Structure 1
Amino acid sequence: MSGIQTASADASALAILAALDDRKTELEMLCDALTSCPVGNVVTAPRPVLVSPQHGFVTTTIWLSSWLDEAWRASMKYLLAQAKRVGIDPNEAERFKHVLGRLRTFFAHNLDPNTTRDRETRDTCYGWFKDACGSRVPGDGHWEQCLKTLLKSALRYVTLAIEIARAIEQHPDSKGLSDLWKDRLSRTDVVVDYLGSLQKAAGDLGCGGLNLPQVRDRYSKRWAEALSLVSAGTDIEEVTGRHMEQTLIAETGRLLPIRAADVMERLVLQPGESVELALRLGQVIYGMHPTLNQVSLLERLAASWNKLRDQ
């Protein structure tokens, strides 16, 4: 690529970055006007410096993820959830949100192509690269187009969020929708000691042998998202404890020779609290008889479950 072409590509990318800055300010002001709250937290990743197309693409991916999927997560999630209510199609925005997360994982983590999740991440990124620049594995001459495609998608994403916010402003139930937005933002201020809550739940359930810091690291983002959706006035400690218990039941299920599906089939249970209770009972039985295989554990569980049910 010639120097003139490179300069032109850089200028194009810089122009889109400038437009993103303008949209960022616009959405900040809209959120302040409608909710009297900041639209999100401070973006921790530095704004990208486009020293080269490939480096610019990687740093832009990390910056956009830090901004849109982390710092402003509560607002963007809320606005997209309201899109159809105000007559706006959120499908393109949802696709971008998914791809952005996969691209960040692609560059920030060592992926194991032998695992299903990491294989899907690679394939998603390869497909996006193919659509963006014509090759599943970008090389010299491809990264400029990838960068511009990413920035244009981000600009459309933020612009759509602004359109939704303006539609909320004009909606007949503008106050109710704005208050709900504010409520979602208020949940992001909740500080939860996840490890402490996990330890308490593990003690209550009698769960042993789990690496609780690893469990916390795997699930903390999911918990934060769930807590951001609870309404004001909710007992956060109680809700958090319930999430901890459900997680530990799921993790315990990995250590047991039986799964939730096995329990539902053998005990003829519907998904829900009964399955959790049955798995807890299975954990107790397995803790007392750790040599039981799947069939034997299910038989003992069924006998104990029926006895408890008949009492």
Structure 2
Amino acid sequence: MEKGKSVANGITPSLKNLQLNPRLKAVSSSPLSHSFPLPLKKSKPRSLVSLCLGFLGQHLEDIITDISELAAGFPPDIKLAMVAIARRRKLLNDDFLIVLAEHSWELLDISGSDITDFGLATVAKICTNLQAVDVSRCDKITAAGISELTCHCWSLEILRCGGSPRSDFTARRCLSLLKPKLNDVEEESWEELDRMDICSGAQSLRWLVWPKIDEDSKMSLATECPRIIVNPVPSPIGFHGLQVPAEASASVALDYSMVEDIDPKTWAISGAARRSIDLPSRDELPMAERFRLAFLERDARLAPKRAKNARQHRRRAEREYLMSSTNAKSIALASQASKFLHNRS
């Protein structure tokens, strides 16, 4: 997998070299370090690219219908960052994803979105270089969509699934699709197999993140396809002798690197619409609070219409007054005559 950088630098991140460990503060070994506190390191200012993405993300509802024209000249990593923002804003659907899809993408996070089998299949045909995909909590994706993904993306190494009852059901239905089916071969181990020996299935799949996998499915994978490691736990010494990639960790969003330099307010901008994936769902709020937020949202939406109606009513009242009052008519005619005489002079 090619080495990359963060979105802030304008280059697609690498799956192998993504660093997720928090930065540790350096402590001096000098005796003075125990007597005087070290100065705090100033946070790095956000890049211009990140600020622009944040602005676009806050107004995504206004530009989503014209996204195909606006994003036509954007680099692939910027398009992927917009997909990450749309997912957090609960605006990611088939049309949005298909318009932005790029052949060079290596990761795709559509978890918790409204993407369907059609959207996933279309993107799989475009983004054939995908190596890590997250379809967890995608209740509109079935085994048909996963089949298209494994059929066109032969480099797929990491797959995240499950997370909801419907998605767990789909994952169980996809077990036969994930297990590679072999031609007539004489090798004694999976490591000795060549890609040409595998006729179908997820040929390169190595890591499966499925938090609530049932014991039968886990045992079936361990017996029939031991090369696929389920729910690996990253550690400094590796997992079963293997270094687990950061993208195979369920504790961090797959597209985290695409938005780590963007202000989180981008996807949590208004009280009623604050639906960040890191915050509780609106459905978990008390009923009275939900009604209050709904009223505020409706009141803000109808405020421009009320102001327009008030202006129309005022102008209508002024016209009716001029038509019904003799005194008002004489004042209006005198004003017009005064303007005429002033212009003549």
When the two structures are superposed, what TM-score results if normalisation uses the length of structure 1?
Answer: 0.19
* Rg (Cα) greater in structure: 2
When the two structures are superposed, what TM-score results if normalisation uses the length of structure 2?
Answer: 0.17
Whose strand proportion is higher, 1 or 2? 2
Whose helix proportion is higher, 1 or 2? 1
